[in-house]
A and B are shown apart, each in its own frame.
Chain A
Amino acid sequence: GQNIDQPTEMTATEGAIVQINCTYQTSGFNGLFWYQQHAGEAPTFLSYNVLDGLEEKGRFSSFLSRSKGYSYLLLKELQMKDSASYLCAVLDSNYQLIWGAGTKLIIKP
C-alpha cells in the first residue's frame, strides 16, 4: 500500500527554527509537495522537490532524499502566522497525489 507519515503535532517558539519530517512509501515517485493549511482554510502550495537536495525559498526550505523516502520542511525565524498544518504529498507513478494527514504546528510566543 501507499503510505505517508508525518508527526501529528509539533510545538515551537516564535523566532526559532522547526523541522517537519515526512517519510513515504509509494508506488513510484514523481515529486514531493509541501502545502500549508491554516485552520478552516484551503491548502496553499509551499514547495516542490523532485531531485535530491535542498530547495530554499525565503524562510522556508524543503529537503528530499529519494533513496531514503524522506523529506523535511524547515521553517526559520518562526512567526505566529506560521501556526498552521503542513501537508506532505507525493506524486505517484500514476501522477496522482498521495497526501499525508498533516502536521499541526503550534507557535508559542
Chain B
Amino acid sequence: NAGVTQTPKFQVLKTGQSMTLQCAQDMNHNSMYWYRQDPGMGLRLIYYSASEGTTDKGEVPDGYNVSRLKKQNFLLGLESAAPSQTSVYFCASSYSSEQSQYFGPGTRLTVL
C-alpha cells in the first residue's frame, strides 16, 4: 500500500510556464483534495473532489485548474505560473468528507 503519492517532489518554474502536479491514491478513497501550505499560514484548500468526475473550488482556486478523470488520480494544473504560487503543495484523500484525510509527501514548487 503506497497510500498517497505525489509527483514531482521538487519543481522550479519560470514565470509564465505551465505544469501539472500529479496525485495518486490506492486506498479507494472517494474524496481528494489539493492544498497549499505557506509559512505562518494554515493549509489552504485549492480544489477538492468529492467523487470521480466532480470537482469544486476551495478557498484559493485562482490560477489553478484540476482534473479527476479516474477515482485514484487527482491532477492540479498551473496554467501560467506566478511567483505568488511558490509554495508547498499537498494532495490528500479521505473515504468521505467527514473522515480523516491522508496526505501525500508534498511538492515543493518555486516560481522565479
Report if A and B associate in a common complex: yes
Q: How large is the interface on B (under 10, 10 to 19, 20 to 34, 35 or more residues)?
A: 10 to 19
A92 to B101, CA, bound (A): 15
Judge whether A45 and B102 touch: CB under 8 Å.
yes
CA distance A41 to B101 in the complex (A): 15
Residues of B close to A48: CB separation below 8 A:
100
- Is B78 located at the chain interface by the 8 A CB criterion? no
Could you tell me the distance between the alpha carbons of A21 and B106 in the complex, rounded to whole angstroms?
27
Please tell me if the beta carbons of A4 and B98 are within 8 angstroms of each other in the complex: no
A95 touches B42 (CB 8 A): no
Set B41, B42, B97, B105: member contacting A41, Cβ < 8 A: B105
Most-contacted residue by chain A among B40, B100, B102, B106 (CB, 10 A)? B100
Q: Interface size bucket, A side?
A: 20 to 34
Q: Does B61 count as interface, using CB distance less than 8 angstroms?
A: no
The answer to whether B45 has its CB under 8 Å from any CB of chain A is: yes
Flag B41-66 by CB within 8 Å of A: 1 or 0 each: 11111001000000000100000000
The answer on a CB contact under 8 Å between B45 and A30 is no
Contacts of A100 in B (CB 8 A): 42
Instruction: Tell me if A44 is interfacial: C-beta within 8 Å of chain B.
Output: yes
Within the complex, the shortest CB–CB distance from A24 to chain B, in Å, comes to: 12
Inter-chain contact A101/B103, CB cutoff 8 Å: no
Check if A95 sits within 8 Å of B98, measured CB to CB: yes
Query: How many angstroms between the C-alpha atoms of A8 and B39 in the bound complex?
Result: 11
B74 at the interface (CB under 8 A from A): no
> In the complex, what residues of A have CB within 8 A of residue B98's CB?
30-31, 91, 95
In contact, B42 and A99 (Cβ under 8 angstroms): yes
CB of B104 within 8 A of CB of A4, answer no
A-B complex: 5 closest residue pairs judged by Cβ atoms? A99-B42, A42-B103, A95-B97, A45-B100, A99-B43
Show 13 residue pairs from A and B whose CB-CB distance is below 8 angstroms, ordered by the A residue. A33-B100, A41-B106, A42-B106, A43-B90, A45-B102, A95-B97, A97-B45, A97-B101, A99-B42, A99-B43, A99-B44, A101-B41, A102-B42
